[in-house]
């Protein structure tokens, strides 16, 4: 066999071997096409849609109305991927099935027991991103959740913007808001959803004239409730500064928490003397708390030199100090917060740490303390950027109140 024949036979052999199924690919890098995808999270018989964009193989993003959550840590092992969600102790794990589809599970590691929700995803062939800038109609609904449950019944205001059949907006409650919701409003039904890494929400209801009926709300696979609503441009909720109060003015404001080293720290009036202190009761699992932390970060930078201090106290889903505070510290690092977090205990124990207060209803809750160690304001919940004008007003009112206390503290020096 001459050289040409031997070379031809060698090439044919390579082609045959490379076509065998049991021969691994030299390049195992998944080949998802760039573009916009729809993820369907499967909760029972309900599918919850979320928008996702693949920018590059290792950079994706989640879209909720005007919110974009960048996923810069997409790690591949062959056709399998792992994404540690930013800010929250959750992850997306899955497999690339083709260049336009993938499947997997969302896992919430902040919970005591294994918590997973499966999903499937496929590319949107239309490639058209809905506009969120041109709003034709504003719809304000007065809503009631769990109307038949004395323990869980709660009021809310739904504020939505409708363009054709595309609807965006949020629900505001007395404990915060449901952040950036997006979906469809056909005139006969409304569907809204969001996924921010720690919460997966889905709302649906029938539409008849000015009424929303037969509503259902799903929070992941652990909670669902009924709700209804009606158009009411004058709908109001209770003042968030009135929901929690000091039971007796004579009871001293003092509390015990743990610092990041695990040592017990006792705060009393001497720790507040001569400055204005914001005590933030929060959870690292709570998106409203994260929105509030971003606001407090800016407030601290502006007024720390004038005497403002911030004492954030975490109430986590776990009462085990080491794992709970490990992620709190990681979240503070990602947010680039310049002050130290403390550990108060498990999620439901805030009222035990602060017995001088009536029932603490929500995370977050802010306690604003003057230079004499007196609580001057208790603000329940936080309206984040998904509430638009209410967010601006909320931040403005809190900022103005802190400024007025700082001015008073300075004048007494």
Query: How far is the C-alpha of 63 from the C-alpha of 181, rounded, in Å?
Result: 10
pLDDT attached to residue 73 = 84
Share of the chain above pLDDT 90, in %: 83
For the cut 70, the answer to whether the pLDDT of residue 28 exceeds it is no
Q: How many CA atoms lie within 13 A of 244 on its CB side?
A: 27
Phi and psi for 127 in degrees, rounded to 5? Answer: 65, 15
Q: How confident is the model at residue 18 (pLDDT cuts 50, 70, 90)?
A: very low
Q: How many CA atoms lie within 13 A of 160 on its CB side?
A: 29
In order of start, what are the domains of the chain with their CATH numbers?
35-123 (2.40.128.120), 137-231 (2.40.128.120), 255-412 (3.40.30.10)
Q: Could you tell me where the beta strands, DSSP code E, fall in 98-165?
A: 101-108, 116-123, 137-145, 154-163
| Beta strands 189-195 and 375-380, pairing class | unpaired
Collapsing DSSP to helix, strand or coil, 251 comes out as coil
Facing residues of 36 across strands? 53
For the cut 60, the answer to whether the pLDDT of residue 19 exceeds it is no
pLDDT attached to residue 411 = 53
Using alpha carbons, select from 162, 158, 237 the residue that is nearest to residue 201. 158
Cα-Cα-Cα-Cα dihedral sign, residues 231, 361, 380, 326: negative
pLDDT attached to residue 252 = 77
pLDDT attached to residue 31 = 81
* Averaged pLDDT, 172-182: 96
Q: How confident is the model at residue 412 (pLDDT cuts 50, 70, 90)?
A: low
pLDDT attached to residue 136 = 75
Q: What is the dihedral of CA 202, 116, 347, 84, to 10 degrees?
A: -100
pLDDT attached to residue 133 = 52
Any idea what DSSP says for residue 349?
A: G
pTM for the full predicted model: 0.88
Q: How confident is the model at residue 29 (pLDDT cuts 50, 70, 90)?
A: low
For the cut 80, the answer to whether the pLDDT of residue 199 exceeds it is yes
At 57, list the tokens.
């193989």
* Averaged pLDDT, 124-131: 54
pLDDT attached to residue 248 = 80
At 44, list the tokens.
């029972």
């Amino acid at each position: 066999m001459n050289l040409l024949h031997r070379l031809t036979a060698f090439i044919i052999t390579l082609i045959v071997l490379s076509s065998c199924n049991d021969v691994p690919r030299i390049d195992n890098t998944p080949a998802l096409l760039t573009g916009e995808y729809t993820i369907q999270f499967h909760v029972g018989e309900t599918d919850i849609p979320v928008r996702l964009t693949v920018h590059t193989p290792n950079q994706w993003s989640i879209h909720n109305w005007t919110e974009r959550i960048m996923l810069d840590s997409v790690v591949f092992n062959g056709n399998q991927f792992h994404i540690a969600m930013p800010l929250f102790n959750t992850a997306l794990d899955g497999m690339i099935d083709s260049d336009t589809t993938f499947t997997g599970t969302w896992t919430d590691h902040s919970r005591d027991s294994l918590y997973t929700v499966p999903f499937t995803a496929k590319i949107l062939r239309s490639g058209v991103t809905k506009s969120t800038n041109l709003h034709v109609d504003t719809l304000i609904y007065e809503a009631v959740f769990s109307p038949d449950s004395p323990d869980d019944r709660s009021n809310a205001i739904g504020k939505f913007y409708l363009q054709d059949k595309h609807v965006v907006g949020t629900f505001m409650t007395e404990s915060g808001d449901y952040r950036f919701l997006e979906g469809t409003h056909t005139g006969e039904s409304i569907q809204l959803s969001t996924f921010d890494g720690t919460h997966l929400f889905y709302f649906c209801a029938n539409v008849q004239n000015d009424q929303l009926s037969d509503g259902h709300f799903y929070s992941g696979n652990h909670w669902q409730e009924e709700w209804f609503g009606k158009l009411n441009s004058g709908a109001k909720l209770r003042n968030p500064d009135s929901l929690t109060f000091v039971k007796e003015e004579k009871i001293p404001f003092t509390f015990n928490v743990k610092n990041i080293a695990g040592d017990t720290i006792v705060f009393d009036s001497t720790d507040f003397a001569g400055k204005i202190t914001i005590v933030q009761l929060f959870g690292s699992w709570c998106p409203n708390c994260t929105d509030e932390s971003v606001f407090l970060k800016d407030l601290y930078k502006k007024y720390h030199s004038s005497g403002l201090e911030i004492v954030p106290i975490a109430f986590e889903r776990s009462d085990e100090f080491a794992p709970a505070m490990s992620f709190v510290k990681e979240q503070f690092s990602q947010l680039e917060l310049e002050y130290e977090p403390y550990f108060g205990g498990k999620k439901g124990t805030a009222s035990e740490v602060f017995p001088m207060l009536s029932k603490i209803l929500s995370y977050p809750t802010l306690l604003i303390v003057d230079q004499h160690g007196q609580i001057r304001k208790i603000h329940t919940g936080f309206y984040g950027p998904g509430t638009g004008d209410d967010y601006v007003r909320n931040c403005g009112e809190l900022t103005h109140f802190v400024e007025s206390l700082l001015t008073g503290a300075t004048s007494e020096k």
